Amino acid sequence: MISQVEREILSISAMASVARLDLDGNPIDPMTICMIGAGGFIGSHLCEKLMAETPHTVLAVDVYCDKIKHLLDPEEGQEASRGRIQFHRLNIKHDSRLEGLIKMSDLVSSLAPWNRSDSGSLLAFAFFNVILSLYFVIIASHPNVVVEQILFSLQTINLAAICTPADYNTRPLDTIYSNFIDALPVVRYCSENSKRLIHFSTCEVYGKTIGSFLPKDHPLRKEPEFFVLKEDASPCIFGSIEKQRWSYACAKQLIERLIYAEGAENGLEFTIVRPFNWIGPRMDFIPGIDGPSEGVPRVLACFSNNLLRREPLKLVDGGQSQRTFVYIKDAIEAVLLMIENPARANGHIFNVGNPNNEATVKQLAEIMTQVYAKVSGEPPLEVPTIDVSSREFYGEGYDDSDKRIPDMTIINKQLGWNPKTSLWDLLDSTLTYQHKTYAEAIRRSLAKPAASS
């Protein structure tokens, strides 16, 4: 009878025996990854990817671990992750060990995380209900060593931002501090200690398209060069200073420019990632269930909350803005390629999105209504949507981008990455998760007032 320990050793040995190669055919050495913020949306999916497909070890650092519990205590048949992921509870926002961790790393990556007050946030500020920082540190020491003792680390990834439109408009100072000021030490430590940096920015740095300044019926608005967003060519165009909504995009653009300048003047090795609406299970929160009742998550969670409560979906200014959506598992493929192919990723800015999944917000609401009816078995609402003004929904000072359609030339050329999942399929996966996770809790919460009256 084979013992549990022997089974784990055989599992790890089998994985290691299949040599992983980078895109140039070079062997990828197994690494230990200290992932600070591993309990969040992106971190949890990256942990799953690393456990399932690589021999790498993860030191998972966060305040909460709810979203990675299945990896920390794997069931029978999941032995591949046993012993290769360990959780360390640490809040890095006020922890002086950050500089030490970066000094011990070769790669630091800063990625805009997801607004949360849930168990997946690294820095769930009691008053702000939002993730402010999320860090990954990839190291090459023994996984049993506590964070303070990590030595000779190979890679670090930092995710830090406030990233919901509701916050940009009502908390512009916090937004600017979180996305620029709080990121400065990370960039400086990387530059001073010759560490590689992967910074996750946002597609919002592009601001408004050139075409948006043309008359609505102008034929050039339909030409790709007037709306497709290119990393190395498209200008960054924002609204007036009075429109506080652009505080996020401006802060993100400025930290990008700082990183680029550090590369040009001081030789900082960097990669900048611009996510275009990464969607999937475990993102954001449902107000009143695993987040504040007054909280305003992003569009997918807002619409999911409406569907779960059988309320009309609210379309801000008619839902005419156009967006693209990419499945989280597709996006994580791109992140792993960046981590394991530094020679191809260094010095580049990458759009990570799916231009094939383009839809207006109104169309997104319509598709989500159809998909949720299929998933839940419930009939669609007779009045599925209602229009609300941006002023009513977000407050004074809101503004928006007309389109966010990414050009994928650079990431396809450098990393050979293309997204695979259709909009319908990613919504089917996400809403199946939402219904399974939240439907019963929503029913109980809706029943409480009636029971108490």
CA–CA gap between residue 346 and residue 357 (Å, rounded): 28
The two beta strands, 326-327 and 228-229, are unpaired
| Token pair of 176 as six digits | 């600017």
CA proximity to 282, closest of 119, 439, 136, 126: 119
Q: Are 46 and 137 in contact (CB under 8 A)?
A: no
User: Which tokens in the block code for residue 288?
Assistant: 């009143």
Alpha carbon 381 to chain centroid distance?
Answer: 31
Instruction: Tell me the CA distances in angstroms from 14 to 2, 33, 49, 77, one per residue in order.
Output: 16, 20, 17, 14
Contact 421, 278 (CB under 8 A): no
Quote the DSSP letter at residue 10. Answer: H
Look at the block and give the residue holding tokens 């960039």: 187
List 168, 248, 327, 438, catalytic entry: 248
Type of residue at 313: L
Is 177 noted as a catalytic residue in this protein?
Answer: no
- Residue 30 CA to residue 291 CA, distance in Å, equals 37
Q: What is the DSSP string of 190-216?
A: HHHTT-EEEEE--GGGGBS-GGGGS-T
Strand ranges for 32-89 from DSSP E? 32-36, 57-62, 85-89
245/159 Cα distance (integer angstroms): 21
Residue 387 to residues 247, 303, 402, Cα–Cα distance (Å): 26, 13, 17
**Catalytic site positions:** 248
